[in-house]
Amino acid sequence: MTKAKISRMQYFLLIPNLLFPKAIGITAGVTARRVGGDAWTAMSIGFVVGASILLLMILLSSKFPNLTLIGIADQVLGKWPSKLVGLVLLIFFIIGFAVSANVMTLHLKEYFLIETPFIIICLIYILLCMYGVALGVENIIRYALLGFLGCLLINITMVFGTINDFEWINFLPVFDRGLMANIAGSIYVLGDLALAIMAIGMIFPMLNDSNKAGWLTFWALATSAVIIMIWPILELGVMGAGAMEQYVVVCMQQIRCAQLTRFLPRYELIMVFFFTFATFVQSATLYFCAVYSVKQTISVKKDWYIVVPLAFVLLPVTYFMARDHNDYVNFLDYPWSQICTALSIGIPLLLFIIALVRGQLMKDNQSAAGSSSA
Amino acid sequence: MIRKLVASILLIITLVIPSGCWDMREINEIGLVMAVGIDKSPRDPNLFLVTVQVANPQGSGSSGGEKQKNESQVWIANAEGKTIFDAIREIARFSSQRIMWAHNNIIVVGESLARDDITPVIDFFTHNHELRMKTWMAVTPLSAGDVVSSNVGMGNAPGRSITEVFRFQNLTGLGLPSDLLNVYHDFTSENNNLLISSLTLNEALTQAGLADISENIVEQIEVSGLAVFDKNRMLGYLTADEARGLSWFLGESPNLVISLPHPQNQNKSVAVEMNAVKAKIDSRLNQGAPEFTIEISGSGHISEEDTFSSLTINEFKSTLENLAEQQIAAEIRSSVSKVQKEYRSDVLRFGKTVHVQHKKEWNRDLKYRWAEIFPESEVEVVVKVSIESSTLNQVPLRNYKELANTNDQSQDK
Amino acid sequence: MQQKVSGDLRKDEQLLIDTIGQGLDTEYRHLLVPALNNASVLIVYIKGLINTTELEDAIIRPLTAPSRNANEKGAKKTPLPEFIESTLFIAGVKQSQDWTEICDAIVSGDSVLLINKYDAAFILANRGWESRAISEPTSEVEIRGPKDSFVENLMPNMALIRRRVRDYGLRFEGMRLGDRSKTDVVMVYIEGLVNDQILHEVRTRLQKIKTDAIMVSNYIEEFIEDSKYSIFPKMERTERPDKASAAILEGRIVIMVDNTPFVVIAPSVFWNFLQSPTDYYEKYILGTFWRSIRLLAMFLAISSSSAYVLLTSFHQEMLPTSLALKIAADRQGVPFPAAIEAFVMEVLLEVMNEAGLRLPKALGQTVSIVGTLVIGQAAVQAGLIGPALVIAVATGAISSYAIPSFAMSSAIRLLRFPVLFCSSLFGIFGYLGAVIFITLYLMSLRSFGAPFYSPISPFQKDDQKDTLLRLPRPQMKKRPSLAKPQDSVRQTTTPRSQNKSEEGGP
C-alpha cells in the first residue's frame, strides 16, 4: 500500500469528494442556525480561511517529501511526540469517518429506509467502505472521478429543479447579524475542511508529481467551493433561512422542493443516486487514513490486521453518534467543529513553526518552488 | 487472502441479516392519497377530522381496457384524532391499504381550523418526508371534507384536477400559488405573514343534456380569493377581486386580463392582456416612519374590442395605457388598504423590504413595533403600462357604416 | 524418453510401436530404396493427418524409383541427408535423432522416414487433414467489414493475420502446451511495437502452464489471467481476423490456440468489451453514438429489473402519479411481492436463454412461441405477474444482447441477480451498494498490468479519443496507451501516412 501512487488528476478530483457530501448536507443547516440568512457568506469566509490552512499544509508537506503528517512529526518532534500525533490523528479520523458515514446513513434513515434498523444501515455502509479500503487506496481514489461526476450531476439537476422558486430577496439583507457573527459561523466549514486537510496530510506523499502542488490544491479547492456554494445559495434562495434552520439534512429538504418538470416531480432518488458515490469516497478515504495512521504509528506489516479491528471500532462509534440525529447535529455544532478547527490549524502550524525554528525547512527549500502561493 | 476474507465476511453478513426487507411495500397495497382535507371535528373542537381522497387504481384505468363504469376513481375516508397523525393512523386501521402521501396534490384546511390555529397542519405536512414541498395548500370556508370528497373536474382523479386549477392561476390572479414551500417559507420567516388561496364549491351545469335536471348539476371547485393570516391564525378573506389587486405584485408573472371602458363608448369594454409584469416594492423612511412605493411596469396587448372606434392606433393605445394604469393602481390600492386597515397583518412583504433596505433601523426598533407601524404606513402606487401590440389588428376595429353616422352626428353638433 | 535413433531399423520400429502403438490409424510402411542399394526404409505416419496424395507422389514414388546412377559406382558418394532432401518433392524435411521430437512429429501429422543403418530419422512435413473452410463469423456478425473468420486450424489463421499485417516485425511465436494434448499455442505480436515487459509477462505466464491438455483457448485464459476468481473476462476473444489484427497493431498480443476458432487478445480493459469493429467501419459519429448506446444498454441490463423492484416496492414517490396508478392497477391480485416476481422472471428468462442457445433449429420456433405466449402473455393475463415487470425484464434481456462481447454480456446478466437481491433488501441503498461494490471491484482488476477500468479511471486524456468516444481516424494520432506500445505514434498530422509498416523490422 505504501507504494500506491496517485496522479495529479486524481488528486484534483479527490478534494471536491472529500468536501462535498457533508458540506452540502449538514453544514449548511448548522451554519444557518447560527447566522440565519448569512449562511452562504459565512461558508464563503470559511472556505477562504480553510484554503489558507490547506495551502500551509501543502507547503509543509512539500518541504518533507514522501512523509505523511506523522512522518513529519517524527522528523520534527521526535519519536514519542510523533506517536502522540499519530494517536490524535487516529481518533480524529475515526470520528471523522463516523461523521462522514452518518451523512449518508441519515439521508437513508430519514428519507428512504425509515423502518430499517439503523445499525443495519451503518453495518452495510461500513462493510462497503471496508471493502474499498481492503482493495487499496488507489481504487478508492479512482472512484473519485465517478464521485465528482456525481456531484456535478446533482448540482445541475438540482439547479434545474429549483430555479423556478428562486427568490433573490431571501438573500437580503447581507451580513444581517454582523460580520463577526459570519466569521464565527465560518467555523463549521472549517470543520469540513479539516477532514480534507488532515486526509491530504496523509495522502499527499502518494502524489506522483508534486510540482506546483500548491496551485493544484488551490484550484481543486476553488472548484470544490464553487460546486458546494451553489447549495447554500440555492437553499437560501428557495427555502429561506427559516426553513434552513429547521431541518437536519438541509440538502434533502432542498430536494423536496425541487421539481424536475411536472412529469418527474420527485428528485430524492436521483439525488441519493449521484450523492452516494462522493460520500463513499469521503468515508472510505477517511477510513483509509485511520488505517494508515495506525500503520505509521506502530509498524504493522499487514493492513488486514488493522482494517478489520478498526471496523469493529467504527461500527459502534458511527451507530451511537447518530442513533439520535439531534445528538449528531449537536455534536457537530459543538464540540466537533471547534476541535476540528483547533486541530487543523494547530497541527500544521505547530509543525511548521517548530520546523522553522529548528531550521529544517531550509534543507529542501528548492523542492517547494510551487508552494509559494501559500 | 484479503479478498477471500472480505468475501467470506460479506457472505456471512448476508446470511446473518434476516431477509427483513423492512421498508418494502408493494405498490398495489398502498393507497395513494390524491387530496387531503383537515377540519375541526364537529363533535369535539379538540379533535381533527382528516378526510383523504385515495386513488382507486382499478377505477382510474387498468391496462385491461374496459373500465368498470360503476367503480369510482377515488375512495374517500375520514377519521378523527387528537393529532393529525393519530387520525391518519385511524384511517389506516379501517382501510385495506396503507396511506402514502407522496402523490398528494393538495391540502385543504377548513376555515374553522384555520381561524383557530394552522400550525399543526403546516407542521405535519412539512414534517412528513413523503410529501413534496410543491404540494398546493388552500383554505376553504366550507368544510374541507366536502371539498375533498366532491367529485369535480374532467381529469381522472379529482385531486389532480384541483392542481390544474392552481397551475393556471397566473392567468386569473384570483389567488396566489400557495404551495407548501411558499407557505412554509412565509410561516417561518420573521417578516411575512401567510396568505393562502381559498377554495369554494360552486354548482355548475354539465354540458350533457341529461333528463333529470338534478343530475345535470355538478359541483365545481373554484379559487375564490385569499385567506389572510396573522402568524398562525386566519383573520379573514380577501375576495377574488381583492386578491387580484395583490397578484399584481405578489404573484408570479401575472398574465392578467383587465377590462377597460372603451375610450369612445363608456358602456363598451376593451380587454387588455398584460404580460411581462414586473413589480418592485421600495421603502423610504420619513422621520422614522416607513413609506412604500409599489412600482408596477408591464406591457399589454389589446385582445378584444367590443365596439368600433375612429381613433388612430396610437391615440387608442395611449388612452388605453392611461386607463389601464389607473385601473391597476386602483385595484392595488383598494386591496392594500383593505389588508392594512382591516386585517392589519403584513402579508405584503413590506416588513422584508424595510429589513433589506433599512437594516439598521429595522433591527434597532422597527421590527419590534412593526405590528403597529404597518397599518399606518403610507403606500404609493406607480403603474407604468405600455401597450405594445393590438394583436393582429393594425388599426382599431372600424365599422365604416357606424363611423359615417358618428361623423355626421358630430358634424351636426 | 532420452533414447536416440539407434540405426537398427527393427529395433527402432519396435520402439516406435511401444511408444505410439499400432492402432488403426497408424501406418508402418516398409520400402526398399533402389537408390540406396535397396536399403530398407520405414515410413511412419497417422493416416488421417497426412496428405496421402503427397505421400504417394512426393515421397514413395521418388524413393522407389529405379536409381539413375545405379551403374555408376563412383558417383554414389552423395551423403544421405542431401540425398533425401534432393530426392523427395516435399516442402519440409528435417533430420532428427530425438525420439520425443520424432513421436511428436508423427502425432502432429508429419511422416517420419527411418533408414536402416542410419542413426537419424527424417521428419517429412506433409500434414494435411480435413478442415473447415474459412467462412463467415457466426458469433460476431458485423454489417460492414470483412466477412472471413478464424477456423480451427492454426495455419490458415496465421495466414489471415499475415495477409492483413505485412509488417516485417510480425512474429508468430509458437509453443506447445499440454503434456498430453500437445496443443500448439502461438503468440502473435509485432516486434518493435509490442511492449517487451508485457510480452515477457505473457510468455512466462504461458510457459508456466503445466497441465495435461488445452482443449480451447479459455483453458489458457484461465491459467494466465490476473484474478482467477473474477467473473469478468479480462481478455478479449474474437473470431474476427480484422479485430485481432487491429489489436496487434495497437501493440497488444494475440494468443492463438490450435483447434480453437477464437483468439485471445492479451491486455484488454473493460471498455474494449463495449467496442465493436463496426465502430471503425462506419462514420465516427455513429461509432460514438453506438458506444453510448451500449453503455446505456449495460446500465439497463444490470438494473432494469432492480429498478422495477425499487420503484414499485420501495420508492413509489418517484413514479409519476398516473404511472403509479397504472402499475398498481395492473398488480391488483398478483400473489407475490415484486421482488420475488422479478426474481422468478429473471430465472425463467435465463432458462429460456439457455434452452434457446443449444436447441436444434427446428425446435427453436417452438421455444420462442412457448416463451412469448406462455410467459409473456398468459402469465400476465392470468394475473400471475404484472405487465410492467415483463417490460422491465425484457428490456434488461434485450439490453444485455446489445453488449458485443458474449463473455461480458453473460457476466453482466449473472450480476443482475445479486443486484436484484440487494435492491430487494434495502431499496436504493442496496442497489447503490451493489453497484459501488461491482465498480470498485472492476477498478481493482488488472489485465497484464493495465488497470481494468482505465482509461476512464485512472483517467488518460489521450485515450479518450477512442474509448467512449470514437474520433475520426485522422484524429487518432496515437495508439492507445493500454498496451504501452514502444512506438506510440500511429500517424503524423496528415492522414496520408497511415501506412507505417517499416517501423518494426529488427
Does residue B72 register a pLDDT over 50? Answer: yes
Please indicate if any CB of chain C lies within 8 Å of the CB of B8.
Answer: no
Among partner residues A111, A115, A256, which is closest to B133 by beta-carbon distance?
Answer: A256
> B276: left (phi > 0), else alpha (psi -120 to 50), else beta?
left
Neighbours of A3 (CB within 10 A): 6
Mean of pLDDT values over C264-268: 91
The strand pair at B257-262 and B265-286 is best described as: antiparallel
Comparing CA positions, the residue from C338, C335, C336 lying closest to residue C327 is C338
Q: Tell whether C222 and C241 lie within a shared domain.
A: yes
Give the least confident one: A142-156, B152-166, C52-66, C96-110: B152-166
Does residue B220 sit in the same domain as residue B348?
no
**pTM, full prediction:** 0.87
For the cut 90, the answer to whether the pLDDT of residue C378 exceeds it is no
Asked if the structure places residue C423 within a domain, the reply is yes
Substitution target in A108, A170, A257 with the highest count of B β-carbons within 10 Å is: A257
**Grid coordinates of A181:** 457573527
The answer to whether residue B330 sits within a structural domain is: yes
Domain boundaries defined on chain A: 8-373
Q: Are residues C58 and C111 in the same domain?
A: yes
Ramachandran angles phi, psi of B294, nearest 5°: -100, 115
B230-251 confidence digits (pLDDT tens)? 888 888 888 888 888 888 888 7
Residues C316 and C419 in one domain: yes
Residues C439 and C300 in one domain: yes
> What's the pLDDT score for residue B87?
87
Identify the pLDDT of residue B1: 62
CB contact under 8 A, B63 and C329: yes
Q: What sections of C59-180 are H helices per DSSP?
A: 61-64, 80-87, 99-108, 154-164
Residues C22 and C106 sit within 8 Å (Cβ to Cβ): no
Same domain as C254, residue C162: yes
- Which residues have C-beta within 8 Å of that of residue C232, sequence separation ≥ 6? C270, C408, C411, C442, C445, C452
H or E stretch covering C119: none
The domain boundary, picked from B238, B264, B283, lies at B238
B48-55 and B30-40 strand pairing: antiparallel
Residue B385 maps to which CATH number?
3.30.300.210
Q: How far is C426 from chain A (nearest CA, A)?
A: 7
| Shared-domain flag, residues B267 and B151 | no
Q: Find the farthest-apart pair of alpha carbons in chain C and give their distance in angstroms, rounded.
A: 108
Domain hosting B378: range is: 249-398
- How many domains does chain B divide into? 2
Please tell me the total count of domains within chain C. 3
Are C401 and C288 contacting, i.e. CB atoms less than 8 angstroms apart? Answer: no
- The backbone torsions φ and ψ at residue B112, rounded to the nearest 5 degrees and listed phi first, read -60, -40
CB A155 within 8 A of CB C464: no
Q: Judge if B192 and B216 occupy the same domain.
A: yes
User: How far is CA B83 from each of CA B34, B124, C139, rounded to the nearest angstrom?
Assistant: 21, 9, 66
d(CA C17, CA B408): 137
Q: Is the separation of the CB atoms in A190 and A337 below 8 Å?
A: yes
Grid coordinates given for C403: 453488449
Is residue B9 a part of any domain in this protein?
Answer: no
As a whole number, mean pLDDT of residues B170-176 equals 70
Is the per-residue pLDDT at B77 higher than 90? Answer: no
Residues C272-323: tens digit of each pLDDT? 999 999 999 999 999 999 999 999 999 999 999 999 999 898 888 888 888 8
Q: How many angstroms separate the Cα of B152 from the Cα of each of B204, B205, B207, C252?
A: 10, 12, 14, 70
Of A103-117, B387-401, C1-15, C491-505, the range with the highest mean pLDDT is A103-117
Domain encompassing residue C320: 296-447
State whether B255 and B388 are in the same domain. yes
User: Are C442 and C359 members of one domain?
Assistant: yes
Alpha-carbon distance of A205 to A208, in angstroms, equals 8
Does residue B11 form part of some domain? no
- One domain for residues C399 and C488: no
As a whole number, mean pLDDT of residues C397-403 equals: 92
Q: What percent of chain C has pLDDT over 90?
A: 35
Can you give the pLDDT at residue A150? 92
Q: What is the pLDDT of residue A152?
A: 93
In this structure, is residue B150 part of a structural domain?
yes
pLDDT tens sequence across C202-243: 999 999 999 999 999 899 999 998 888 889 998 999 999 999
Question: Do residues C62 and C13 both lie within one domain?
Answer: yes
For residue C4, being part of any structural domain is answered with: no
pLDDT digits (tens, 9 = 90+) for C352-367: 888 877 888 777 778 7
Which residues in chain B have Cβ-Cβ distances shorter than 8 Å to C329?
28, 57-58, 60-63
Lowest mean pLDDT among B211-215, C106-110, C274-278: B211-215
Residue pair C45/C112 in contact by the 8 Å Cβ criterion = yes
Find chain C residues with C-beta within 8 A of A273's C-beta: 428, 432
- To the nearest whole angstrom, how far is the Cα of A285 from the nearest Cα of chain C? 14
Q: Which of C95, C125, C155 is the last residue of a domain?
A: C125
Residue B20 in any domain: the answer is: no
Contact B26 C314 (CB under 8 A): no
C-alpha cell at A75: 522528523
Those residues with Cβ within 8 angstroms of residue C24's Cβ, 6 or more apart along the chain or in another chain: none
Q: Is B66 a residue whose pLDDT tops 50?
A: no
**Does residue B48 form part of some domain?**
yes
Look at residue B6 and tell me whether its pLDDT is greater than 80: no
Q: Identify the segments of chain A with pLDDT beneath 70.
A: 1-3, 173, 175-176, 361-374
Q: Does C441 reside within a domain?
A: yes
Mean pLDDT is highest, among A265-279, B45-59, C180-194, for C180-194
Helix and strand element counts for chain A (H, E): 15, 0
**Co-location of C442 and C310 in the same domain:** yes
Are C331 and B27 in contact by the 8 Å Cβ rule? The answer is yes
Return the DSSP state at C435.
Answer: H
Tell me the ipTM for this assembly: 0.89
Top residue of C302, C323, C423, C440 to mutate, by most chain A CBs within 10 Å, is C440
Residue B156 has pLDDT above 60, yes or no: no
Residues C301, C166 share a domain:
no
Burial class (CB in 10 A: 0-12, 13-18, 19+), B383: buried
Question: B260 and B222 in one domain?
Answer: no
Other beta carbons within 10 angstroms of residue B44's beta carbon come to 11
d(CA A129, CA A123): 10
Residues from chain B that touch C424, judged by Cβ atoms under 8 A, are: 21, 24
User: Is C328 in contact with B130 (Cβ distance < 8 A)?
Assistant: no
- Is the separation of the CB atoms in A28 and A250 below 8 Å? yes
pLDDT tens per residue across span A281-332: 999 999 999 998 898 888 777 777 888 889 999 999 999 998 888 888 888 8
Cβ–Cβ below 8 Å for C428 and A273: yes
Q: Give the closest-approach CA distance of A128 to chain C in angstroms.
A: 7
A–B CB contacts, 8 A cutoff, strictly below: 80
Number of helices and strands in chain C (H, E): 17, 12
Q: Please report whether residue C275 resides in a domain.
A: no
Q: Which residue in the block uniquely carries the three cell numbers 400476465?
A: C380
- Is B409 contained in some domain? no
Kindly report the backbone phi and psi dihedral angles of residue B312, in degrees, each rounded to the nearest multiple of 5, phi listed first.
Answer: -80, 165
The pLDDT value recorded for residue B212 is 55
Measure in Å the smallest separation between the Cα of A302 and chain B Cα atoms: 10
Q: Is the pLDDT of residue C499 over 60?
A: no
3-state secondary structure A247-314: CCCHHHHHHHHCCECCCECCCHHHHHHHHHHHHHHHHHHHHHHHHHHHHHHCCCCCCHHHHHHHHHHH
C429 touches chain A (CB under 8 A): yes
Q: Mutate which of C311, C325, C340, C389 to disrupt the B interface (most B C-beta within 10 Å)? A: C325
What's chain B's average pLDDT?
79
List B227's β-bridge partners, or say none.
B196, B237
Among B214, B238, B262, the domain-final residue is B238
**Residues of A with Cβ-Cβ distance to C427 under 8 angstroms:** 112-113
In a 3-state reduction of DSSP, which class is residue A156? helix
Residue C454 falls inside a structural domain: no
Beta bridge partners of C337: none
With 60 as the cut, is the pLDDT of residue B215 above it? no
Only one residue has cell 429489473, namely C305
Is C452 inside a domain boundary? no
Nearest CA in chain C to B33: C321
Q: Subunits touching A (CB < 8 Å, at least 3 pairs)?
A: B, C
CA gap B311, C120 in Å, rounded: 125
Whether the per-residue pLDDT at B172 is higher than 80: the answer is: no
The set of cell numbers assigned to B64 is 385491461
CATH number of A8-373: 1.20.1740.10
In this prediction, residue A365 carries a pLDDT of 43
**What confidence score (pLDDT) does residue A370 get?**
38
Give the confidence band of B154 by pLDDT, cuts at 50, 70, 90. very low
- Specify the pLDDT at position A188: 86
Within-domain flag for C273: no
Question: Closest partner residue to B61 among C312, C329, C331, by Cβ?
Answer: C329
B303 inside domain: yes
pLDDT of residue A3: 62
